[in-house]
Amino acid sequence: MNSLIAELMLMRKRVAFWVLLGFWSGMSILFSYILPYYAYTNNLKFHGRAVGPALLLVLLPQNLVGTITTSFPFFGGTMVLILGALAMGSEYNWGTLTPIFTQRDSRLKVFLSKMAAIGIALVPFVLAVFFLAYIASMIIAWREGVSMEAPPMWDLVRAMGAGWFVMAVWASLGVLLAVLSRGTAMAIGLGIIYGLVIESLISSFSSQIDLLATVSKGLLRTNGYSLISSLGVSLPSGGAGPGGFTGESVSGLHAAIAMAIYVVLFVSAAAAFVRRRDVAGAS
């Protein structure tokens, strides 16, 4: 318990945590509400289509779940991958792992405490975005003089849980990359390249190459979007900007199992390397 409290206090004092939380929250509301509403009020095109009453309906409180959750597998995943890499990789950069492992609990206990602290730290990333989305949708509904009916509580709880789960997978990947590279820079670079480039390329060509179609069903983004889709959310199309989803989705059960396996593999592999490798930072 003492190790967990120490890790939570350390996380709370990290400037990077607050910067990432603020950036993620701001970008989510900007792209999910502010820009679409601006397009609606100015009769502009949004996602290549003329906007109208259908877009306004998406921005109302009753459709909050479908509007905000689609940002988790792409933008949210990237943000918390960086968080995971910084939370673990910074210890290598600062050279603090050696005194921690010699003065406190075992390596495994310290590592698991850090993973638990990261999991808890993801809660504000979910709550902040949903709270701001609710405020933004209520303001839009008030300005347009339409219904301000909130979505069902059970739908909100399920969506928050799914959002946290998606983020947990990406954060675990960030931790593993940090452990493998024994630092932050390479871990963040590789993670962003994988998430933004490699997965996008595989998904884009999956409709043309059968092997890639099979591989794409195991990708983090595919399973993340599929998990969100299982809540009844319409996924953004491939032409809907950098967060658009291309490729074939899988069932909600398939997505949940695949992502649970990813979390176990990422955390287990990182724990094994932490226990057996030198903890000095990479040169």
Under 8 Å between Cβ of 125 and 79: yes
- pTM for the structure as a whole: 0.89
HSE at residue 282, side-chain half, CA atoms within 13 A, is 13
Domain ranges in the chain are 2-18+65-120+149-276
CA 217 to CA 153: how far, in whole Å? Answer: 31
> How far is Cα 155 from Cα 136, in angstroms, rounded to an integer?
18
233/236 Cα distance (integer angstroms) = 9
**Per-position pLDDT tens, the chain of length 283:** 677 888 888 888 888 899 999 999 999 999 889 988 888 888 766 555 666 677 788 899 998 998 899 889 888 998 999 999 999 988 887 777 777 777 666 788 888 989 999 999 999 999 999 999 999 999 999 998 888 888 889 999 999 999 999 999 999 999 999 999 988 899 999 998 988 888 878 877 777 787 877 888 888 888 998 898 888 777 665 544 445 566 677 888 999 999 999 999 999 999 999 888 766 655 4
Residue 97: C-alpha distances to residues 18, 36, 110, 281 (Å): 23, 46, 10, 9
Quick one: tokens of 152? 């069902």
| Helix (H/G/I), strand (E/B), else coil: 83 | helix
Element (H, E) at 60: none
Q: Encoding tokens for residue 174? A: 């960030």
Shortest CA distance to 80 belongs to which of 92, 93, 67, 71? 71
Write out the DSSP string of 87-100.
Answer: HHHHHHHHT-HHHH
* CA-angle at 70, arms to 69 and 75, nearest 5°: 100
**Would you state the pLDDT for residue 139?**
94
The pLDDT value recorded for residue 242 is 46
